[in-house]
Amino acid sequence: MTEAPTRVRSFIDLAAFAAQSDLLAASGDGAWTANRQALFLPDGPVSVAVLRLSGEGTEAALAADEFAIVLDGALALQQGTDLVDVPARRSVVIPAGLPFAWTARTATTVIIMRCSSGPAGADRLVPIDEAARLSPSNPPLAELLVGPTPSCRNFTDYRSANGEFVCGTWDSTPYTRIAMPYRHYELMHLTQGAVTFVDGAGRKATYCEGDVFLVEQGAECSWESTVQVKKVYAIYRPG
């Protein structure tokens, strides 16, 4: 009997995934967690889904941390006296254990990255501050680079209590890196520049400013950027 071929783990365009969904917008209590269409991923602490909402509702305490980025429409989230507006192409982290209320413009589309690997790292809503002051961070390993070492910077908005789920903003000068195995999941939203990836099967894609995509844990991908790149990220990296 011939075995089915193993799927090559790769990069996934999440805006295209959302556009292919026939999910209708929902309102009311519980719609936040109920009205989702999941991306196929192996079983584990990370899941990614598209969510469509209209109107308003409330949600009991989430069982896991959730990074949410609005693709179309707009959200307002409220927890106690904290009110966070999330327009299109902006993002927020909702820590596990936090009940909240939401209001959504008609047919608001949201991508959710959920991580259940550990306890929450905050007791409030955490909007991703794209204007935060970035600090120098480590560049890619020298043995992976083709050409000059880039200058990289980072700001972390959210970190789970066990340090495995991290969300924030990063930028870098141009660089080229050979393929490396990703031992983590990373959702990226490019806010500046463009990046070209090639995966282990030779599939190639270029993502540009405004694109939202996922690199799967277990993927083996190269990186090439010829211009300054800035991104919002949500990363699950097991300890």
pLDDT band, very low/low/confident/very high, at 7 (cuts 50, 70, 90): confident
- Taking residues 148-157, report their average pLDDT: 98
Tens-place pLDDT, residues 30-68: 999 999 999 999 999 999 999 999 999 999 999 999 999
User: What pLDDT score was predicted for residue 36?
Assistant: 97
Of 187, 72, 83, residue with least CA distance to 125: 83
Locate all alpha helices (DSSP H) within the chain, ordered by sequence.
Answer: 14-19, 31-34
- Pick the closest to residue 125 from 153, 155, 154, 90 (CA basis): 90
Work out the average pLDDT over 210-235.
Answer: 98
Pick the CATH number of 135-236 from 2.40.50.140, 3.40.718.10, 2.60.120.10, 1.10.3720.10: 2.60.120.10
- pTM value is 0.96
How much is the CA Rg of the chain, to the nearest whole Å?
A: 18
Task: Classify domain 11-127 at the CATH topology level.
Answer: Jelly Rolls (2.60.120)
Q: What pLDDT, on the 0 to 100 scale, is given for residue 8?
A: 86
Mean pLDDT of 90-97: 98
End-to-end Cα, the chain, rounded Å = 38
Domain span(s) for CATH 2.60.120.10 in the chain = 11-127, 135-236
